[in-house]
């Protein structure tokens, strides 16, 4: 427990963190990674380069400071980050390194304003927060290892099949090299892949949503090749059937809730991958649940898994499937294989979803996510009925 004096001091720094948080975390990562380059084997280099990691940490530090007198309020955030840490292989010994460099960054950026009193208070607070992360992550490591088919850290998987799903998305079917059982997962969760392309000094780790229903003897991830994506390009161009990938056990807090509410699954681009997993899971486990599957894509050339979704929907009277193409090709128009030209907007969403009394799941690019979130909020959908996988600082969705 923190003393009232420490809580008071931390609270007083909230306005400073709001103003200088990004500057502090940018300096922090620069200093820490120069002293401990081995951590580049864990951190996402692209997120570092584009500033996403710095913003995410700044938001987390700000939230911790703002809720320092009620840290229970940020436990959901701790769990979400903890899932990623477990999947990446973050360990207790990493936390002192982070703490030392974070306090140094606060001192460097704020200068004389960062008094000994403030630094000492933050050192005490960081210790409490780090212990919370370490404790929660220890349970996650234990659960991942001890569950049926589970394992610790990374395990070798063979690429049994590699299937091109669209011009930009390819699926990889993964089976364990040791031939033993694999852990199940919840629809919506992700798999974490670690690779080291030829010539790279460090390993690269990425999270990819699982795109098939659980309870199979393989995992499937469907990966979009990003133009500057080191890992996605490596998977698309260099990895072939029979190759081996290092994979950590399924993780993630974005999961399908199996209740009686209708489910509305909304995706943009490669964001459809967890939605396809959810769709198959509902059809299998809740065959009478009403489902509306809504996908937005540029056109049919980049619309992955379309036939799979259409076939699944055709076999159930409780499933409806819709697609919006923002720039359909002439072949799309000829085949009439989409339902709306343009983007998924509020009016169209309401007309096909039918009711706001549903569970809404959505995933896609950041602008898409913001737009869907705003539309659902304006429609009056309760926050507890909005579920999303947001690959960026969570506060940005507002």
Average pLDDT over every residue of 260-264? 96
pLDDT at 43: 84
Please indicate if the annotation marks 126 as binding a ligand.
Answer: no
Average pLDDT over every residue of 76-88? 89
Please indicate if the annotation marks 390 as binding a ligand.
Answer: yes
The span from the CA of 388 to the CA of 256, in Å, is 10
User: For 312-336, b where at least 16 C-beta lie within 10 A, e where not — what string?
Assistant: bbeebebbbbbbbbeebeeebeeee
3-state secondary structure at position 364: coil
Residue 202 known to be catalytic: no
pLDDT at 390: 64
Q: Are strands 204-209 and 319-325 parallel, antiparallel or unpaired?
A: unpaired
Please indicate if the annotation marks 368 as binding a ligand.
Answer: no
The span from the CA of 386 to the CA of 134, in Å, is 29
Q: What is the pLDDT of residues 121-156, one digit of tens each?
A: 999 999 988 998 999 999 999 999 999 999 999 999
Which one from 95, 185, 234, 325 is the annotated catalytic residue? 95
Please say whether the beta carbons of 390 and 372 come within 8 A: no
Whether pLDDT at 344 is above 60: yes
Residue 137 known to be catalytic: yes
Average pLDDT over every residue of 96-120? 93
Whether pLDDT at 396 is above 70: no
Average pLDDT over every residue of 17-33? 89
The span from the CA of 357 to the CA of 381, in Å, is 7
Which one from 137, 165, 290, 389 is the annotated catalytic residue? 137
Please indicate if the annotation marks 149 as binding a ligand.
Answer: no
Q: What is the pLDDT of residues 283-329, one digit of tens each?
A: 999 999 999 999 999 999 999 999 999 999 999 999 999 999 999 99
Please indicate if the annotation marks 325 as binding a ligand.
Answer: no
List the alpha helices (DSSP H) in 67-220: 75-88, 94-110, 116-146
3-state secondary structure at position 114: coil
């Amino acid at each position: 427990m923190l003393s009232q004096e420490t809580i008071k001091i931390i609270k007083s720094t909230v306005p400073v963190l709001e103003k200088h948080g990004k500057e502090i975390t940018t300096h922090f990562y620069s200093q820490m990674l120069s002293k401990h380059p081995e951590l580049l084997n864990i951190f996402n280099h692209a997120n570092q380069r584009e500033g996403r990691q710095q913003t995410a940490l700044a938001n987390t530090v700000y939230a911790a400071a703002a809720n320092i007198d009620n840290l229970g309020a940020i436990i959901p955030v701790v769990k979400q980050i903890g899932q990623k840490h477990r999947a990446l292989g973050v360990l207790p010994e990493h936390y002192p390194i982070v703490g030392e460099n974070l306090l140094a960054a606060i001192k460097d950026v704020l200068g004389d304003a960062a008094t000994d009193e403030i630094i000492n208070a933050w050192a005490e607070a960081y210790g409490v927060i780090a212990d919370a992360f370490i404790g929660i992550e220890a349970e996650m490591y234990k659960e991942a290892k001890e569950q049926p088919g589970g394992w610790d850290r990374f395990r070798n998987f063979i690429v049994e099949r590699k299937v091109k799903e669209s011009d930009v998305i390819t699926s990889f079917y993964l089976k364990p090299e040791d031939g033993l059982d694999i852990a199940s997962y919840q629809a919506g969760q992700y798999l974490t892949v670690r690779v080291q392309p030829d010539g790279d000094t460090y390993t690269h780790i990425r999270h990819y949503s699982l795109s098939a229903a659980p309870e199979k003897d393989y995992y499937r991830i469907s990966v979009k090749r990003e133009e500057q994506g080191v890992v996605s390009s490596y998977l698309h161009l260099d990895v072939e059937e029979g190759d081996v990938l290092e994979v950590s056990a399924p993780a993630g807090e974005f999961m399908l809730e199996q209740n009686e509410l209708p489910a509305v699954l909304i995706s943009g681009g490669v964001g459809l991958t967890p939605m396809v997993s959810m769709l198959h899971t509902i059809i299998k486990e809740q065959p009478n649940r009403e489902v509306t599957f809504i996908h937005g894509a540029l056109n049919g050339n980049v619309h992955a898994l379309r036939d799979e979704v259409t076939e699944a929907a055709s076999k159930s009277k409780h499933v409806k499937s819709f697609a919006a193409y923002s720039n359909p090709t002439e072949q799309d128009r000829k085949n009439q294989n989409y339902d709306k030209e343009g983007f998924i907007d509020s009016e169209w969403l309401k007309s096909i979803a039918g009711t706001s009394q549903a569970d809404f799941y959505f995933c896609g690019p950041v602008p898409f996510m913001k737009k869907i979130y705003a539309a659902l909020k304006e429609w009056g959908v309760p926050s507890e009925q909005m579920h999303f996988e947001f690959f960026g600082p969570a506060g940005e969705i507002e």
